[in-house]
Structure 1
Amino acid sequence: MARPTSYKDDALGTTDQGGGLRTTGYPLDQAIAAAEAALVDHQFPDGHWCFELEGDCTITAEYILMMHFMGEIDPGLQERMVRYLRARRDPAHGGWPLYPGGPFDVSGSVKAYYALKLAGVDPEETPMAEAREAILAHGGAARSNVFTRFLLAQFGQIPWRGVPMVPAEIVLLPTWFPFHLSKVSYWARTVMVPLSILYTRRVRARNPQRLGVRELFTVPPERERRYFPVWSWPNRLILSIERTAARAEPLFPQRIRERAVHEAAHWFIERLNGEHGLGGIFPAMVYAYEALDHLGYGPDHPYRIRAGRALRNLVVERGDEAYCQPCLSPVWDTALACHALTEANGGTPPEEGSRGMDWLRPRQVEEGGDWTADNPDLAGGGWCFQYENPHYPDLDDTATVANLLHNGGDSEQEADRIRRAVDWVVGMQSRDGGFGAFNADNTYHYLNEIPFADHGALLDPPTSDVTARCVGLLGRVDHPEAGAALRGAVDFLQRAQEPEGPWFGRWGTNYVYGTWSVLEGLSQAGLDMNEAWIRQAVRWLKSVQRPDGGWGEENDTYFQPERARRAPRSTPFQTAWALLGLMAAGEARSPAVRAGVDYLLATQGADGGWEAPWFTAPGFPRVFHLKYHGYNKYFPLQALARYRNQTGGTPR
């Protein structure tokens, strides 16, 4: 589609809304055309989209630390990452938060401080001194989370007794054992296996400058006795057992230990995933890269070369700054961009959407991945989140892509592709009727009590948002098992609804995201949107609309749900989520929707897009948060286009 030439010359022009924000006053049709053109501008020549996926500063700090661990320092890249870290320290509390405007985080601050010190920043300059004071005021580096303490142990800053056991023998455990790799989430197992080698061999960082951070401890690390927090009585019991086993570790048979290291190496090398990296996620990729080095794979070995490139592919360079993404999101971005363009084209994919769909089709995963451990007879059919990650397709992407392709044609080949996707989705349904992201029945909740799980995200249980996406697909297809699967999933959603009416969103912040996801899925499945429980959700969405007509929600709602009613600001994409949810429930002509559309029109930028700096998607709630840069590009477009399609009119 050619970029429109008329909208920038519209008589309404641009207006200054204060704070330097330039916004448009486009009429609805021109606003949609401008947004569509802005989205198409980001399409790659081969038809796909991949927007930046920005995490908090811990990932960038870990990249610097990895360079010093390996002794492979890129001075230019390191300096650009230093600028990025410096700019994101929060002077209000002295350290680094997990998202802009968030509270001080001791673990992230320890990593950022150490990375800057290794990169040559003077620890006595004022920002570093303030960060150090904040870390000490929060108990010091010993109060860091598990992953930060592992890093400190590798750099020789704390004794290995300061980290939980992750022995390589975990790969030898039978499936009936209380702990088994198949019992934890995909992201946990891809991290734990290479880490188990580093732990078992007590691998130390090269650390060419021999720099440490003893100044970040309130008690000398070798004398510290409180490395492990206790958060429940089951955790206290398991911790006592684990610490007893740790003391007995020197007695483990060496022959079995070496066999375990060999099996762990075989496990993760089989899943290295070429230049896309182990699991497609930064933490697993880093541990794999370091483990390959320890196992003797030299810098010129193909494994090392590809693993190093996978890490470098995550780096984003913007001007004189650089940061590292936690992973890449091309399938997710492409599917959602195509959905928005299809909506803007009245329900038929435009040429750009068709090219995006052509890019998606051959990326359907057909070979068996780790899901076959529990479903050995279940054939492939899903899509993954990244460019490639064939061991780990996910339900969220699969339902989103299959729903898109369902709109794209009725050829025999397309029907077969959708059938295989639905077969896989049905086969991955959990016994409670819900769907997790990557696993079925990953509900061994006692494992969240082990010392390694202080982040509380070791598992991948069914969630409302992923289940809702699957409901939307199952309700639209002609499939022999779709009806039963749909009934079970809808029952799950009814049980999961919060008392006030919303749903908790696992993969987006939070209740606005979850409630939109469920309302959209139920509508696509053809449910009666006037049922009482659905109207309760509609009333809740309207009740949290802000005075400016938009919607917003901060990450604090993951542990303070009542704050969903006290959002300090609206964002374009959260407003779009709420609008899409309300319109799915038949509210297109309501005053709430009209006000939300007005908000989007008033905040659209002169380039046709929207901007918002806020991080409103969780990697792990309360631990790791993300900003999907594409969300401001395609969700507002989809919401405005749906409003036009459903009303044929304009806002007030």
Structure 2
Amino acid sequence: MTLDNQNESLLSQSANNIRNKDFTLSLNKAINSAKKNLLSKQSNDGHWVYELEADCTIPAEYILMNHFTGEIDNDKEEKIAEYLRSQQNEEGGWSLYTGGNFDLSCSVKVYFALKLIGDEPHEEHMIRAKTMILNHGGAAMCNVFTRITMALFGQVPWRATPFIPAEVIILPKWFPFHINKVSYWSRTVMVPLFVLCTMKPKASNPRGIDIRELFITPPEDELNYFKVTTPLKRAFLVLDRFGRLAEKLVPKFIRQYSIRKCEQWFLARMNEKHGIGGIFPAMVNVYESLVVLGYPKSDPKRKLARQAIDSLLKDNGTSMYCQPCMSPIWDTALVSHALIETENEKNTTTEIKNALDWLKERQLSNEPGDWRIQKPELAGGGWAFQYSNYYYPDLDDTSVVAWAMHRTKKSIYSKSIDRAANWVAGMQSRNGGFGSFDIDNTHYYLNEIPFADHGALLDPPTADVTGRAIALLSLADVEMYEKQINGAIEYLKTEQEENGSWFGRWGTNYIYGTWSVLTALEIAGQDPQQDYIRKAVKYLISTQNDDGGWGESNDSYYPPKIHRPFKSTAFQTAWVLLSLLASREEKNPSVKKAVNYLLSTQLSNGQWYDNSFTAPGFPRVFYLKYHGYSKYFPLWALARYRNILEK
């Protein structure tokens, strides 16, 4: 080698060292800044909770509830109206998520809510909304939930709604439909609806507002409220009509008994000040049922039900919206993971300990729960999603919390981890997968009943929840739970999409599902060179955007199942980065590009910002924006990358 070549080599090496040093400094600065921001948001008792925003259906329903009961708060309603107007799309309607297509049911509810508040039909934004609604078939074409709301306000006849009388609550367990055969969210929503749809009250509606202008055919003359798309739907509609005819034959004492049984069912699950099921739609139905059943405003149960609903309001000064629920357990567990990663699992800081201690106190044990119907012999040990929801702990939160505790290697959490793993293992479904709240909730024919046009009546096993369960069981005791882990992995193999990805039931979408699976397979000790894992990695790398990030819209929940390019987001880029690192792809150029994307998009306050909705509540029906996702997932991913580099 000549002297010139040696000098050139030394200069090149020196330049690389400088670049690497600058990169390391930038990486550390980004991690420290993001960590500082997270720590500043920790509550005094150790937990975190970020905003959880839904589409405009929820705040609109809050307004409709107030006018149903006649309890109008003008100041709050004007703030909510400001929020609803700000979310209107340019063409005039409302979508279920940022950048989504027009949604008829959401738009009808928002229009109705704005009109109840005082917006006049001749105002420009209302004209645009009405035009879009009529161009999409009018209010008669709305989904079942919206038609039930319109029936309560006398805007459509009750024949526009499914026949769901209170007597459903006393059907025997062997009957094709039983309340225990559907998901927890369906149960908590439906049982109070049985009362409303049986008693058929009419809303107080003190301002006498109607929305007849949103119908193409007068609602009383409309004959096509139900779409017949399958022979089974047709059969269920025939049974629906037969039930209406037979309703006159139901003895009065049976009807009164059935209504009382519904009332007793939801009163037992009221969940104190946190509301039934911890979810807004069920809370509203219970509150309206209490009003219809004659509970006075002074009644403690009615007051608690109202308090639970109002606690979901998020006041942003000039505007306000209503959250669908709160996510403190989920947020605190995921922030804990990110912080544990920043310490490379070597140091449990005071902040981490306070967070995990807060979570430890909220682990469930012998409380009543609907999951016990299927597994009465199984000991409790789960966590719920909300501050309190003891009837409905879920496997996803339970797995994520116990996984975080295990990473600290602190014996103080050993019993909590063991109890959680035992409970999760006991909730495995027959096909090897894990659902969110129930076992073997797979009565798929029930998605064809007239009430279930949203297609989310059930809680079957999913790849994302199954992945988290595998992670926990592998960490807790891989030998003890070998059978459950192997069964779950085989389930995941059958659920893998043709392109190599996995469907994301609780996060958007194939990126989320694939992250959930690949990170679990790493913990389970699966060889990343296996064909099915390589196929998943190939899918992720092939969908990287030119800017180095990844993005996926909620449009991907609609057919066809193909990748549709979407702008990069920090949280989805973080999911992919964690997936690739779990698959030992740290030297892949795509990884460095992803890290640079996150470094370049971080804000000066240490956060990242995305306006995208991050998850479905129910795919194609109801979507969510976890405001915390763009704050803790990028930190987790960058810290993981740094830890691998330092090995």
Judge same fold: TM > 0.5, yes or no. yes
Instruction: Report which stretch shifted further, 527-536 or 187-196.
Output: 527-536
What residue number does 1:633 align with? 631
**Structure 2: how far apart are the matches of 1:253 and 1:427?**
42
Amino acid in structure 2 at the alignment position of 1:540: Y
Pair 1:495 & 2:494 matched? yes
Question: Pairwise mapping of residues 365-380 of structure 1 onto structure 2 (< 5 A)?
Answer: 365-366=364-365, 367-380=367-380
Question: Pairwise mapping of residues 52-67 of structure 1 onto structure 2 (< 5 A)?
Answer: 52-67=51-66
Determine if contact 1:474/1:486 at 8 Å carries over to the other structure: yes
Amino acid in structure 1 at the alignment position of 2:429: S
Determine if contact 1:368/1:379 at 8 Å carries over to the other structure: no
Determine if contact 1:426/1:481 at 8 Å carries over to the other structure: no
Pair 1:609 & 2:607 matched? yes
What residue number does 1:14 align with? none
**Structure 2: how far apart are the matches of 1:562 and 1:464?**
16
Deviation, 1:252, is 1.7
Deviations 1:64-85 (A, max 9, x none): 1111111111111000000000
Amino acid in structure 2 at the alignment position of 1:112: V
Deviation, 1:528, is 1.3
> Which of 159, 162, 170 is matched with 2:160 structurally?
162
**Structure 2: how far apart are the matches of 1:556 and 1:426?**
34
Deviations 1:421-464 (A, max 9, x none): 11110111000000000010000000000000000000000000
What residue number does 1:201 align with? 199
Q: Secondary structure at the match of 1:632?
A: helix
Q: Secondary structure at the match of 1:626?
A: strand
Determine if contact 2:558/2:620 at 8 Å carries over to the other structure: yes
Amino acid in structure 2 at the alignment position of 1:116: L
Q: Root-mean-square deviation (CA), in Å?
A: 1.3
Deviation, 1:295, is 1.5
Amino acid in structure 1 at the alignment position of 2:502: W
Question: Pairwise mapping of residues 559-574 of structure 1 onto structure 2 (< 5 A)?
Answer: 559-564=558-563, 566-574=564-572
Question: Pairwise mapping of residues 408-419 of structure 1 onto structure 2 (< 5 A)?
Answer: 408-411=408-411, 414-419=413-418
**Structure 2: how far apart are the matches of 1:645 and 1:40?**
20
**Structure 2: how far apart are the matches of 1:443 and 1:358?**
36
**Structure 1: how far apart are the matches of 2:350 and 2:299?**
43
Question: Pairwise mapping of residues 158-557 of structure 1 onto structure 2 (< 5 A)?
Answer: 158-347=156-345, 348-366=347-365, 367-411=367-411, 414-478=413-477, 481-557=480-556
Amino acid in structure 2 at the alignment position of 1:61: A
Deviation, 1:544, is 0.5
Determine if contact 2:50/2:627 at 8 Å carries over to the other structure: yes
From the superposition, tell whether residues 470 and 561 of structure 1 become closer, same or farther in structure 2 (CA, over 3 Å). farther
> Which of 98, 101, 109 is matched with 1:100 structurally?
98
Between the aligned residues of both structures, percent identity stands at 54
What residue number does 1:619 align with? 617
Deviation, 1:410, is 4.0
What residue number does 2:591 align with? 593
**Structure 2: how far apart are the matches of 1:140 and 1:417?**
53
> How many residue pairs get matched?
623
Amino acid in structure 2 at the alignment position of 1:374: Q
Deviations 1:360-412 (A, max 9, x none): 0011111231011111111210000000000000000000001111123442x
Deviation, 1:622, is 0.6
**Structure 2: how far apart are the matches of 1:632 and 1:529?**
28
From the superposition, tell whether residues 147 and 275 of structure 1 become closer, same or farther in structure 2 (CA, over 3 Å). same
Deviation, 1:204, is 1.5
Instruction: Report which stretch shifted further, 554-563 or 289-298.
Output: 554-563
Amino acid in structure 2 at the alignment position of 1:151: T
Name the TM-score, length of structure 2 as normaliser. 0.95
**Structure 1: how far apart are the matches of 2:165 and 2:217?**
27
**Structure 2: how far apart are the matches of 1:563 and 1:320?**
41
Deviations 1:593-647 (A, max 9, x none): 1000000000000000000001120000011111000000100000000000001
Amino acid in structure 2 at the alignment position of 1:620: F
Deviation, 1:26, is 7.0
Deviation, 1:247, is 2.7
Q: Secondary structure at the match of 1:27?
A: helix
What residue number does 2:16 align with? none
Determine if contact 2:340/2:408 at 8 Å carries over to the other structure: no
**Structure 2: how far apart are the matches of 1:100 and 1:247?**
44
Deviation, 1:475, is 1.0
From the superposition, tell whether residues 342 and 51 of structure 1 become closer, same or farther in structure 2 (CA, over 3 Å). same
**Structure 2: how far apart are the matches of 1:230 and 1:82?**
36
What residue number does 1:16 align with? none
What residue number does 2:574 align with? 576
Deviation, 1:250, is 2.2
What residue number does 1:132 align with? 130
**Structure 2: how far apart are the matches of 1:637 and 1:233?**
50
What residue number does 1:3 align with? none
Q: Secondary structure at the match of 2:53?
A: strand
From the superposition, tell whether residues 400 and 88 of structure 1 become closer, same or farther in structure 2 (CA, over 3 Å). same
Deviation, 1:563, is 4.6
Deviation, 1:552, is 0.3
Deviation, 1:567, is 2.0
Determine if contact 1:197/1:261 at 8 Å carries over to the other structure: yes
**Structure 2: how far apart are the matches of 1:73 and 1:465?**
41
Deviation, 1:25, is 12
Determine if contact 1:26/1:601 at 8 Å carries over to the other structure: no
What residue number does 2:11 align with? none
Deviation, 1:248, is 2.4
Instruction: Report which stretch shifted further, 506-515 or 366-375.
Output: 366-375
Amino acid in structure 2 at the alignment position of 1:549: G
Q: Secondary structure at the match of 2:616?
A: strand
Deviations 1:288-312 (A, max 9, x none): 0111111121111111111111001
What residue number does 2:12 align with? none
What residue number does 2:85 align with? 86
From the superposition, tell whether residues 331 and 592 of structure 1 become closer, same or farther in structure 2 (CA, over 3 Å). same
Determine if contact 2:613/2:623 at 8 Å carries over to the other structure: yes
**Structure 1: how far apart are the matches of 2:290 and 2:233?**
33
**Structure 2: how far apart are the matches of 1:151 and 1:542?**
46
What residue number does 1:4 align with? none
**Structure 1: how far apart are the matches of 2:36 and 2:128?**
45
Deviation, 1:231, is 2.3
**Structure 2: how far apart are the matches of 1:302 and 1:550?**
51
Deviation, 1:95, is 0.7
**Structure 1: how far apart are the matches of 2:338 and 2:201?**
48
